[in-house]
Protein backbone atom coordinates (compact mmCIF):
# COMPACT_ATOMS: atom_id res chain seq x y z
CA UNK A 1 0.00 0.00 0.00
CA UNK A 2 1.20 3.50 -0.72
CA UNK A 3 1.74 5.28 2.55
CA UNK A 4 0.64 8.83 3.30
CA UNK A 5 4.26 9.81 3.46
CA UNK A 6 5.36 8.40 0.10
CA UNK A 7 2.37 9.64 -1.90
CA UNK A 8 3.40 13.22 -1.11
CA UNK A 9 6.88 12.74 -2.53
CA UNK A 10 7.72 14.11 -5.95
CA UNK A 11 8.82 11.61 -8.58
CA UNK A 12 12.41 12.76 -8.15
CA UNK A 13 12.21 12.16 -4.41
CA UNK A 14 10.69 8.74 -4.99
CA UNK A 15 13.58 7.74 -7.23
CA UNK A 16 16.04 9.11 -4.66
CA UNK A 17 14.36 6.96 -2.01
CA UNK A 18 14.57 3.96 -4.32
CA UNK A 19 18.29 4.61 -4.81
CA UNK A 20 18.76 4.59 -1.04
CA UNK A 21 16.99 1.24 -0.80
CA UNK A 22 19.06 -0.23 -3.62
CA UNK A 23 22.23 1.02 -1.95
CA UNK A 24 21.22 -0.33 1.46
CA UNK A 25 20.34 -3.76 0.12
CA UNK A 26 23.36 -4.30 -2.14
CA UNK A 27 24.79 -7.81 -1.79
CA UNK A 28 21.87 -9.18 0.20
CA UNK A 29 20.07 -12.37 -0.68
CA UNK A 30 16.74 -11.92 -2.48
CA UNK A 31 17.61 -8.30 -3.18
CA UNK A 32 15.60 -8.05 -6.39
CA UNK A 33 12.30 -9.14 -4.83
CA UNK A 34 12.95 -6.99 -1.80
CA UNK A 35 13.76 -3.89 -3.85
CA UNK A 36 10.76 -4.45 -6.14
CA UNK A 37 8.50 -4.82 -3.14
CA UNK A 38 9.74 -1.56 -1.63
CA UNK A 39 9.57 0.17 -5.01
CA UNK A 40 5.92 -0.80 -5.25
CA UNK A 41 5.31 0.69 -1.81
CA UNK A 42 6.95 3.94 -2.88
CA UNK A 43 5.41 4.31 -6.35
CA UNK A 44 2.23 2.28 -5.86
CA UNK A 45 3.28 0.15 -8.87
CA UNK A 46 6.42 -0.89 -10.72
CA UNK A 47 6.13 0.70 -14.14
CA UNK A 48 8.69 0.06 -16.86
CA UNK A 49 10.81 3.10 -15.96
CA UNK A 50 10.98 1.94 -12.33
CA UNK A 51 12.04 -1.53 -13.50
CA UNK A 52 14.71 0.03 -15.73
CA UNK A 53 15.97 2.10 -12.82
CA UNK A 54 16.20 -0.99 -10.61
CA UNK A 55 17.99 -2.99 -13.32
CA UNK A 56 20.54 -0.22 -13.66
CA UNK A 57 20.92 0.20 -9.90
CA UNK A 58 21.46 -3.50 -9.32
CA UNK A 59 23.53 -3.87 -12.47
CA UNK A 60 21.39 -6.70 -13.81
CA UNK A 61 19.60 -7.12 -17.16
CA UNK A 62 16.20 -5.45 -17.50
CA UNK A 63 14.84 -8.81 -18.73
CA UNK A 64 15.55 -10.33 -15.32
CA UNK A 65 13.62 -7.59 -13.52
CA UNK A 66 10.79 -7.81 -16.02
CA UNK A 67 10.61 -11.61 -15.65
CA UNK A 68 10.17 -11.35 -11.87
CA UNK A 69 7.56 -8.58 -12.13
CA UNK A 70 5.61 -10.60 -14.70
CA UNK A 71 5.80 -13.82 -12.70
CA UNK A 72 4.57 -12.54 -9.33
CA UNK A 73 1.00 -11.32 -9.33
CA UNK A 74 1.68 -9.14 -6.29
CA UNK A 75 3.59 -6.73 -8.51
CA UNK A 76 1.53 -4.29 -10.53
CA UNK A 77 2.79 -2.36 -13.52
CA UNK A 78 -0.29 -0.13 -13.62
CA UNK A 79 -0.82 3.01 -11.65
CA UNK A 80 -2.74 2.00 -8.54
CA UNK A 81 -4.80 4.04 -6.15
CA UNK A 82 -3.80 4.42 -2.54
CA UNK A 83 -6.69 2.09 -1.71
CA UNK A 84 -7.94 -0.83 -3.75
CA UNK A 85 -11.68 -1.36 -3.49
CA UNK A 86 -12.66 -4.96 -4.12
CA UNK A 87 -16.34 -5.62 -4.68
CA UNK A 88 -17.26 -9.25 -4.09
CA UNK A 89 -19.38 -10.52 -6.96
CA UNK A 90 -19.68 -14.07 -5.64
CA UNK A 91 -23.12 -15.69 -5.57
CA UNK A 92 -24.15 -14.72 -2.04
CA UNK A 93 -23.08 -11.11 -2.54
CA UNK A 94 -24.73 -11.01 -5.95
CA UNK A 95 -28.03 -12.20 -4.47
CA UNK A 96 -27.77 -9.54 -1.75
CA UNK A 97 -27.22 -6.66 -4.18
CA UNK A 98 -23.53 -6.57 -5.10
CA UNK A 99 -24.47 -5.28 -8.53
CA UNK A 100 -26.14 -2.19 -7.03
CA UNK A 101 -23.12 -1.62 -4.78
CA UNK A 102 -20.80 -1.82 -7.77
CA UNK A 103 -22.95 0.57 -9.79
CA UNK A 104 -23.00 3.05 -6.93
CA UNK A 105 -19.22 2.87 -6.59
CA UNK A 106 -18.80 3.39 -10.33
CA UNK A 107 -21.05 6.45 -10.17
CA UNK A 108 -19.44 7.92 -7.06
CA UNK A 109 -15.87 7.36 -8.23
CA UNK A 110 -16.57 7.94 -11.94
CA UNK A 111 -14.48 4.92 -12.90
CA UNK A 112 -15.05 1.36 -14.08
CA UNK A 113 -13.51 -1.76 -12.55
CA UNK A 114 -9.80 -1.91 -13.36
CA UNK A 115 -9.48 1.89 -13.29
CA UNK A 116 -8.04 4.35 -10.78
CA UNK A 117 -9.55 7.67 -9.76
CA UNK A 118 -7.84 10.82 -11.06
CA UNK A 119 -6.83 11.82 -7.54
CA UNK A 120 -4.98 8.52 -7.16
CA UNK A 121 -7.02 7.54 -4.12
CA UNK A 122 -8.98 4.47 -5.27
CA UNK A 123 -8.60 1.59 -7.70
CA UNK A 124 -11.84 -0.29 -8.27
CA UNK A 125 -11.89 -4.06 -8.77
CA UNK A 126 -14.28 -6.96 -8.55
CA UNK A 127 -13.42 -10.21 -6.85
CA UNK A 128 -14.84 -13.67 -6.35
CA UNK A 129 -16.15 -14.91 -3.01
CA UNK A 130 -13.85 -13.88 -0.20
CA UNK A 131 -15.36 -16.39 2.22
CA UNK A 132 -17.47 -14.10 4.36
CA UNK A 133 -20.84 -14.74 2.68
CA UNK A 134 -22.73 -14.31 5.97
CA UNK A 135 -21.93 -10.59 5.74
CA UNK A 136 -22.98 -10.20 2.09
CA UNK A 137 -22.83 -7.93 0.25
CA UNK A 138 -19.21 -7.21 0.98
CA UNK A 139 -16.54 -4.87 -0.25
CA UNK A 140 -12.95 -4.53 0.86
CA UNK A 141 -11.24 -1.17 0.93
CA UNK A 142 -7.54 -1.72 1.44
CA UNK A 143 -7.34 -4.12 4.38
CA UNK A 144 -10.79 -3.22 5.74
CA UNK A 145 -13.84 -5.37 5.08
CA UNK A 146 -17.26 -3.72 5.01
CA UNK A 147 -20.25 -6.07 5.10
CA UNK A 148 -24.05 -5.93 4.91
CA UNK A 149 -23.61 -2.79 2.87
CA UNK A 150 -26.37 -0.76 1.33
CA UNK A 151 -25.66 1.49 -1.60
CA UNK A 152 -26.76 4.58 0.35
CA UNK A 153 -23.87 4.02 2.76
CA UNK A 154 -21.24 4.21 0.01
CA UNK A 155 -20.67 8.02 -0.09
CA UNK A 156 -20.15 8.17 3.69
CA UNK A 157 -17.88 5.18 3.62
CA UNK A 158 -15.71 6.60 0.84
CA UNK A 159 -15.39 9.93 2.61
CA UNK A 160 -13.59 8.21 5.50
CA UNK A 161 -10.67 7.41 3.22
CA UNK A 162 -8.27 10.17 2.30
Q: Which is nearer to ligand FES, 69 or 139 (CB)?
A: 139
Judged by the rule CB under 6 A, the positions of this chain that interact with ligand FES are 88, 90-93, 129-130, 132-133, 136, 138
Nearest residue (beta carbon) to ligand FES: 90
Query: Closest approach of Cβ 74 to ligand FES, in Å?
Result: 22
Query: Closest approach of Cβ 139 to ligand FES, in Å?
Result: 9
Q: Which is nearer to ligand FES, 35 or 138 (CB)?
A: 138
Cα 133 to Cα 25, 61, 71, 77, 103, distances in angstroms: 43, 46, 31, 31, 20
Query: Closest approach of Cβ 125 to ligand FES, in Å?
Result: 14
End-to-end CA distance of the chain: 13
Query: Closest approach of Cβ 101 to ligand FES, in Å?
Result: 11
The strand pairing partners of 87, in sequence order, are 126, 139
Q: Which is nearer to ligand FES, 69 or 98 (CB)?
A: 98
Q: Which is nearer to ligand FES, 66 or 94 (CB)?
A: 94
Cβ atoms of 32 and 65 closer than 8 Å: yes
Q: What is the rounded radius of gyration, in angstroms, for the C-alpha atoms of the chain?
A: 18
Amino acid sequence: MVTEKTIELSEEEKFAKLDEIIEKNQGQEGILINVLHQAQQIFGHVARKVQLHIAEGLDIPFSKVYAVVSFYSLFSTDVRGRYTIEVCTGTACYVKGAEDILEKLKTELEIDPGETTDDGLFTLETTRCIGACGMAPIIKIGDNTHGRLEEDQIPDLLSKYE
